[in-house]
Amino acid sequence: MRKFIYIKLRRNRVEARIVGKTKDEVFSAKALSHPRAMAGDFEQLVELYQSIIEHYKTWTDYIFKPDLFIHFVEKSEGGYTNSETKIMKLASEQAGAHFSWLCLDAYGPFRS
C-alpha cells in the first residue's frame, strides 16, 4: 500500500502528515525562507522533502515510494510562477516520492 503524505508549505516552516493516520507535525524549513520566492535553494528543498519522507518511512517504503500532496498555503503577491511550481514538483520527485500533486488554493482538500 502506497503512503500518501500531505505537506503544507508556509514561509519558514512546513507541516506534514500521513493522510488518515497521523496528525500534523511541524518541520523547520530554511529552504522556504527566500524573501521573493517560495524556495530559494533547490538542493535545500530536496533535503527538506527527503527529511519528511525519512521521518515517515517504514519498511514498505522500500517497495512502494510514497506519494506527496504539496499544498501552498500562503499566497504570494503575484501568484506562483510556473517555474516555482515546477521546481517544487521536481524536488519532491528527486527526494524519493513516487508522484507529487500541487495545490495552489489557499483552502486545501484535507482537513484535520
Give the pLDDT confidence of 18-48 residue by residue, as tens digits: 988 888 888 877 777 776 666 777 888 899 8
pTM of the model: 0.84
Residue 9 has pLDDT above 80, yes or no: yes
Q: What percent of the chain has pLDDT over 70?
A: 88
Domains in the chain, start-ordered, CATH in brackets?
4-103 (3.30.420.40)
**CA separation, residue 71 to residues 7, 29, 59, 60 (Å):** 6, 15, 26, 25
Confidence of residue 5 (pLDDT cuts 50, 70, 90): very high
